[in-house]
Structure 1
Amino acid sequence: MRRFISGLVILAIIIGGGAAVYWYSTRGEEANTAASSSSTTVSTPTGTDVNSLALETGAGQVTAEGRIVPAAQASLAFQISGQIAEVLVAEGDVVDEGAPLLRLDDTDQQLALQQAQAILVQAEANLHTAEASLQQAQVGLETAELGITSAEVQLALLTADPTEAQIALQESQLAISEAVVNQAAGSRSAALEGASTAEIRAAEAQVQAAQAAVQAAQSQRDQLSSDAPQSQRDQAQLRLNAALANQQAAQAQLNELQAGATAAQQQAASAGVGAAIAQQEAAEANYNLFLAGARAEQIAIAEIGIAQAEQAVVSAELTIQQAEQAIAQAQNGVAEAQAAVATAEAALAKTVLTAPLAGTVAQLDAKLGQIVAPGIPLATVADVSRWRVETTDLTELGVVAVAVGYPVEVAVDAFPDQIIPGTITDIARTASLFLGDVTYTVLIDLQPTDLPLRWGMTTFVTVE
């Protein structure tokens, strides 16, 4: 019936077109003259979306047949061949975006990933080793450069004339060594000869003075009454104790002087003289060498030291270059290993078929153990929370009269007494052939409805 109505509409357009031709042919010379002097061109502004434009054709209505489709859908296939190891969903299941649907046997991919990861770990370890070697080489270069500085300073000291301060220092060291010898000799003489009469008498006088101090402190303490403050009695006792200690020290000094030096003390004094003389001789030798200046062999040795230090710097710089090359190679190895891991991870990811959108598993053609080839559709996921209409036979004559945003009325064959409002949301940019006609697919968003719509139901679309 609807195709019959469509035929009547087309017939009316043809009849109207014939009448227009007849009218145009009777316009006469005036119309021909006007046509020759002016013409009208319909153009589309540059950059304007053709889907936003519609022409007035005078047809009154544009109609087309269509079918119900989900708001979004995706037909899914593996990119690689393999054997299905897991079927994780069933037809009718609601899934989230990214949810796994099917999984292939991934034994080979897992092994390849583990091998790639092991190679990456080794490559990173090689890089760490190379970096540590570079640090060690840099330390070696710094040490070698310090060696040059030290050798140059040593040579400069050998070849430079002594300053007045250096000469004065050497002379003072020599004088000190001579004074030490004299002091050691005096100590030895005192140890061998014993104390003099004057020293003994002075020590005896110190003992007598200490005894008098003890008697005075004891008298002061004894004169304190029993009711004197405790602090005074404590102070008096402390003074007495100090006087007694001084008396004991003075007596010990007197006893030591009277007894004379022991054999061990005499031996130590003699040894001290010998050591002092040896130090004096060494100081004299250093002083003489200092005044004589550096010998030729010393200068030659210092120059050899500089050459060796310079060679050490060259060797250290070469080691650094080698370490830097090793780091570059190690970095390349890490990059290659990382790329291999990424490739292995991508290959492993291809063994899992996931949902590209949230929706319902509308079709599933897969079984456990099935061998699949790449590109063969195995599942379809659709968002059936909203429905759309996709026209099937809107011709080029009708498409020019509609535009995105136009309201439409949709009748579903399964519900002949119901009309669902909708809006055109997209018009195909390219044409298709349908029963010999050039047609353009138009997408229409339907308003929410309680009708139990199903994918593929046929519809009739009317655009006023």
Structure 2
Amino acid sequence: MNRIINGLVIIPAMVLLSSCAVIGKSPEPTQTVSSATVVAPRTLTEARVIPVHNAALSFSVPGIVDEVLVTEGQSVKEGDVIARLKGIDRAKAAITQAEVLKLTAQKNLDDFRDKTNVSKAEAELVLAKAQIELKNARDARKSLDYQQVSGAALDGLRATYYMALSDFKEAEDDYEPYKDRGEKDIERAEYLAKLSNARLAKDKALYNLNKALEMPDPEKIAKADARLALAEAALNDAQSTYDKVKDGPDASQLSILEAAVTNADAQLKSAQSSLNDLELIAPFSGTVISNDLKIGEAVSPANTVMLGDVSAWQVETTDLVELDIVNIHPGDKAVVTFDAIPSLKISGVVNRIKQMGVASKGDTTYTVTIDLDESDPRLLWNMKAFVAFEK
């Protein structure tokens, strides 16, 4: 184990025995004891340098490396392709085919819905027209089932005729004394004109009465019956057509078309997933730290490419035991030194503490991550460091 000193104390020799520090104890404030200065206790542990963002990338499927686009030390942006396996062309062709299939399926579904909406509107219009025609046909046929005028109107026509007949007879009687006079006789002419007008009025009243008393023409009745039958048939047909479309698209046909779209979408996602399996893509911007992939080489998910954002560093402890970890909390300050760079000292803050310990050489160790307040171009991934936790 590489833990150096827990509770390091600096005091003069004369008080050495009276100022021993307790291992794992939380730091105490600096105080004066017998004129000696005591430094607050702290925990010192070994650690390693890691990027704040880092990942071990690997292909999710085995295959043969076809392209290596980024080598060790090169920078990448999020979404950049680092390497590809053979089979990209097939995968892209499968995506294109799946996209065409999805577009076709979606168009079929949209066309079906649009056609259904148009059919419903047309069916509503045809039904409305059929209802109007049936009403008109019924009214026309009903009008032929009785005399053309009502009883009151017929009584009025009769009364008009009888009055005209009475006026005519009265005019005849008035004319009778003058009928043998000469044609140029003024009085005869006056009574003759009166008689002529009375005759015209009588004849017209009789014509109107007789017309009102007439029954419908059998031919007209036959035509009206035929019109009514056609109107009823047209209405039934229009109603049947409307009933089929009034509730929207046919459920079974709609279900089939929707299933086709779902299936096409699944095929497209599967094709895209297959393409993704053949490409090693950077999940964030950073630098490729290690990349042993070679063109033509067979690889499996076990082959990894290390990616890290070296613009910001952290350190992870490697040997903190359970007696030490209880005195460390997120937010605690720390000072980090580096074995390979003795002159470098960087302050930091505890970011997180891994809750599960790991058995190591008879102890249980816990990992603590410390964010560094600054960076240094000399720092490298996995460089050895020492962390002093202070309150």
Class of the TM-score when normalised by the shorter of the 2 chains: 0.5 to 0.7
Which residue does the alignment assign to 2:381? 455
Structure 1: segments with no counterpart, 5+ residues = 18-53, 168-283
Which residue does the alignment assign to 2:215? 292
Which residue does the alignment assign to 1:395? 321
Matches within 5 A, 1:214-253: none
User: Is the 2:350–2:369 Cα contact (8 Å) retained in structure 1?
Assistant: yes
Matches within 5 A, 1:7-22: none
Which residue does the alignment assign to 1:329? 256
Q: Distance in 2 between matches of 1:418 and 1:291?
A: 126
How many residues were matched structurally? 305
Look up the equivalent residue of 1:455 and give its one-letter code. W
Look up the equivalent residue of 1:441 and give its one-letter code. T
Q: Distance in 1 between matches of 2:272 and 2:212?
A: 78
> Higher Cα Rg: structure 1 or 2?
1
Q: Distance in 1 between matches of 2:277 and 2:312?
A: 30
Relative to 1, partners in 2 of residues 1:317 and 1:81: Cα closer, same or farther, differing over 3 Å? Answer: farther
Relative to 1, partners in 2 of residues 1:149 and 1:376: Cα closer, same or farther, differing over 3 Å? Answer: same
Residue number among 194, 212, 226 corresponding to 1:301 in the alignment:
226
Look up the equivalent residue of 1:393 and give its one-letter code. D
Which residue does the alignment assign to 1:146? 129
1:119 aligns with 2:117: no
1:136 aligns with 2:136: no
User: Is the 2:49–2:315 Cα contact (8 Å) retained in structure 1?
Assistant: yes
Q: Distance in 2 between matches of 1:332 and 1:127?
A: 10
Which residue does the alignment assign to 2:332? 406
Q: Distance in 1 between matches of 2:211 and 2:299?
A: 101
Q: Distance in 1 between matches of 2:295 and 2:337?
A: 42
Which residue does the alignment assign to 1:277? none
Relative to 1, partners in 2 of residues 1:114 and 1:93: Cα closer, same or farther, differing over 3 Å? Answer: same
User: Is the 1:85–1:369 Cα contact (8 Å) retained in structure 2?
Assistant: yes
* 1:60 positional shift: 2.0
Cα root mean square deviation, aligned:
3.6
1:445 aligns with 2:371: yes
State, as a whole percentage, how many aligned pairs show the same letter: 28
Q: Distance in 2 between matches of 1:306 and 1:417?
A: 105
Q: Distance in 2 between matches of 1:143 and 1:451?
A: 82
Which residue does the alignment assign to 1:380? 306
Relative to 1, partners in 2 of residues 1:345 and 1:418: Cα closer, same or farther, differing over 3 Å? Answer: closer
Relative to 1, partners in 2 of residues 1:154 and 1:91: Cα closer, same or farther, differing over 3 Å? Answer: same
Which residue does the alignment assign to 2:52? 71
User: Is the 1:74–1:381 Cα contact (8 Å) retained in structure 2?
Assistant: yes
1:277-311, Cα deviation, whole Å (9 max, x unpaired) = xxxxxxx9xx9799532634334313312331232
Relative to 1, partners in 2 of residues 1:122 and 1:2: Cα closer, same or farther, differing over 3 Å? Answer: closer
Relative to 1, partners in 2 of residues 1:412 and 1:358: Cα closer, same or farther, differing over 3 Å? Answer: same
Q: Distance in 2 between matches of 1:436 and 1:2?
A: 14
Relative to 1, partners in 2 of residues 1:153 and 1:71: Cα closer, same or farther, differing over 3 Å? Answer: same
Which residue does the alignment assign to 2:180? none
Q: What's the secondary structure of 1:324's corresponding residue?
A: coil
Relative to 1, partners in 2 of residues 1:139 and 1:70: Cα closer, same or farther, differing over 3 Å? Answer: same
Matches within 5 A, 1:36-51: none
Q: What's the secondary structure of 1:384's corresponding residue?
A: coil
User: Is the 1:55–1:402 Cα contact (8 Å) retained in structure 2?
Assistant: no
Relative to 1, partners in 2 of residues 1:157 and 1:290: Cα closer, same or farther, differing over 3 Å? Answer: farther
Look up the equivalent residue of 2:238 and give its one-letter code. V
Relative to 1, partners in 2 of residues 1:125 and 1:457: Cα closer, same or farther, differing over 3 Å? Answer: closer
Q: Distance in 1 between matches of 2:344 and 2:138?
A: 111
Q: Distance in 2 between matches of 1:444 and 1:85?
A: 40
Which residue does the alignment assign to 1:90? 71
User: Is the 2:6–2:43 Cα contact (8 Å) retained in structure 1?
Assistant: no
1:157 aligns with 2:140: yes
Q: Distance in 1 between matches of 2:231 and 2:338?
A: 101
* 1:55 positional shift: 7.0
1:416 aligns with 2:339: no
* 1:335 positional shift: 3.5
Which residue does the alignment assign to 1:220? none
TM-score computed with the length of structure 1 as normaliser: 0.57
Which residue does the alignment assign to 2:190? none
Q: Distance in 2 between matches of 1:417 and 1:400?
A: 30
Q: Distance in 2 between matches of 1:97 and 1:62?
A: 38
1:155-195, Cα deviation, whole Å (9 max, x unpaired) = 2122125458xx9xxxxxxxxxxxxxxxxxxxxxxxxxxxx
1:348 aligns with 2:329: no
1:377-436, Cα deviation, whole Å (9 max, x unpaired) = 431110111222111111111111122222222221112344332222221111112221
* 1:344 positional shift: 2.3
Relative to 1, partners in 2 of residues 1:314 and 1:370: Cα closer, same or farther, differing over 3 Å? Answer: farther
Which residue does the alignment assign to 1:223? none
User: Is the 2:141–2:225 Cα contact (8 Å) retained in structure 1?
Assistant: no
Look up the equivalent residue of 1:90 and give its one-letter code. T
Structure 2: segments with no counterpart, 5+ residues = 10-16, 29-39, 154-206
TM-score computed with the length of structure 2 as normaliser: 0.67
